[in-house]
Structure 1
Amino acid sequence: GHSDVNKISFSWENPDSSKFVGVKVYKDNQYLATVDKPLNSYTVDGLKADTPYVLKFTSLDSNGFETVGVTKTFRTSVDPKTIPPGPVSSFTAQPTDKTVKLVWKKPKDEDLAGFKIFQDGKRIAEIGLEEEFTVKNLEPLTEYNFGVVAVDKDKNDSSAVNLSVKTLEENDDIPPHVPSNVFAKPSNGALIASWDKVSDKDLAGYNVYVDGKKINSNLISSTNFTIKNLENDRKYKVQVQAVDLSGNASELSSPVFGTPDINTIPLVESKYNLQDVSDGVGNQFWQLWPFLAWYLGIPLSFYVIYKFKQVYLP
């Protein structure tokens, strides 16, 4: 006998007896057919794939006598169209803060069509024969479960291969805002740069550029910076850049130009504040006051009121 997907074929040797007239065929104890001599083969068809069947063959003689016969069990073949592909192998994940790249090796299967990708049990993609897929728009520091299923051309699915992976800490690659309202106030041999505070919450500080070159070694935390050792009467281009805690830098601000001037008040290295100015010094400060008020950005009227309250009010 020979088993196929939906049929079983048999052949046999007929007995020599002159009384022999044919062979009766039964399937699962139900009569199917009588094969008259000299024929010696028969095919049972219309069967289910991958299923056992009990077949019985009996000899029939001219008097109508039937032998006990031979009983055999056959199993039909598995339908290749229903055989699923094998699972993927070497399944790994490469997480970033908001993505996970899945990589695997495909199974050896001649009619492989592609793969289904699952995230936390939900199918999120069907792809062709590529052996990688990047899942996007994920949350940082979050655990996800990913699965890959191989699919063949007859739409049979392999068993799933799964992997749990945690995304990384948030990676900030967005630069801060560009500083605005930059000024370069002239002084003798120097320029005093100032600008508006940048609103970014993760701001780390600022860099100052003169004629396109960064001149500070450490980030500047305030919104002003004195550029020293410049030539008087020469025009300099000043720009400011904001930097965040992840090291992202903004574009340089629109350039402003300043020209140091010998006729301006010279820079005095000063740690004075309003209290020092008020308490320490009496009259000599009135001569220096215009410079200090300008240098420290303290309006004169504010100082006068402060002094007045201190001296004249109880």
Structure 2
Amino acid sequence: MRKIFPLLLIIFIFLVPFSSNVFAYDDVSFKQMNNKQVLNIPKELKSGDKVTLRFTSGSQYVSGALYIDSDTIANASSKEIVVKATNNLNITSYDAVVTSDYSPSFNIFSNADTSLSIKLYAVLINGVEIFDGNKIIVPRKHDEIKNPLSTVTDKSFSLTWDTPISNDGFVQTNVYKNGTKIANLSKEIDVYKDDDVLPNTSYTYKLTAVYDDGFETNGVSVTDITLDAPPDPSLIPPSNVTDLTVSNITDVSLDLDWLNPDDDDLDKIKIYKNNVLLESILVASSYKVTGLTPNTSYTFSVSAVDKDGNEGSKQTTTAKTLDGIDKVAPVAPTGLSVESGNKALFVRWNKNLEDDLFGYNVYLDGIKQNMVPVKNTFYSLADLENGTQYKVKISAVDTTGNESDMTSEKIGIPLDTGMPLLDTNYELGDVAKGIESWFSSLWLIIAFAIAIPLSFYIASRIKLMFLE
């Protein structure tokens, strides 16, 4: 008998057209190693799907290996499943992971040196059985959720989507928030609002479709950031004051002026000097700063405060006080009038109101007539020529010596018909000499006027003494 070296090639699965949805198979033994039988999976797979083949063998003693050959499976380099050398062939399963979209085929064979029957009893895709050893189970079509959209506020995260409602097996939508399931929604619902969110926070929501065979899709995700919370109105500061200006600067004081904002809850105005609060005042648009140091630079700020105590930004300006010497002159006198006299002019004017007024200067044809400032508001110009025009001007002088501008000139003309000027320009020595001369001529008269009555009085008193 010719020696035959049988080669066992077990290909136990073949797929025939399944218009009746039945997969026909037999226990198959092959004598030639390279005979192969092909198993075609009747389903379009997606990248990441897992295919599981479960099969069993007969009870023959075998040695060698069983090969599952597929050039399109991700782990093609791990095609070998080793047959136990001293035991029955008990291969329970083979898993393959798909890396691209296609319908895979499997070529199954063996190099065992004896006849071996192997029978496929199950095929699973992603854990779902599509072949139970007798027939192909037509795979359920599992449609995905589509078109997820998000709408956010500072307090909520709202979702809308399109459900696979036309798929009869679709039963519900699962909602996941940052990986944790938070809701099971009936198939008719295509909106969801989550109020358990924080402002300005990123969230990722996933929506999955669940079917009546227990299958849950991978789901679709949407990520968004909630809005910032609106500010509390009671914490909003008022608008700022504007147009801060400085005026009326002296050596020790100045005036601040500004425009207030239009806020209807304005309550106070704060004044700062060199960034230190000087005073908080009721709403006003001006303030007089006093007690300053001469010839010194200052920074002044003004801010508005509302009824909730919120303070607006400061409006700032700088100013420098004048030095300690008064350089402000009085204003020019007013009401100058000139009256004609005989060889004289009589001048009058209105009184100035400055606190530091010292007096007035009188000018005749541009020449000052007084040695010291005139304290009165009138003055007489003497020793003039009748019929001659004279120009008269007046100025005011303060205690520091600052002189005002001169008044507008007035024209005066002395006349021989005018009132003569009495000369009263006597000095104290003149008065003393006059009194001395007067008494030198009258002392004898005064002496007799006193001595004669006195002598009669004394004589009468002596007479009375003797009569008694």
TM-score by length of 2: 0.34
Whose radius of gyration is greater, 1 or 2? 2
Question: Greater relative contact order: 1 or 2 (C-alpha under 8 angstroms, separation 6 or more)?
Answer: 1
TM-score by length of 1: 0.48
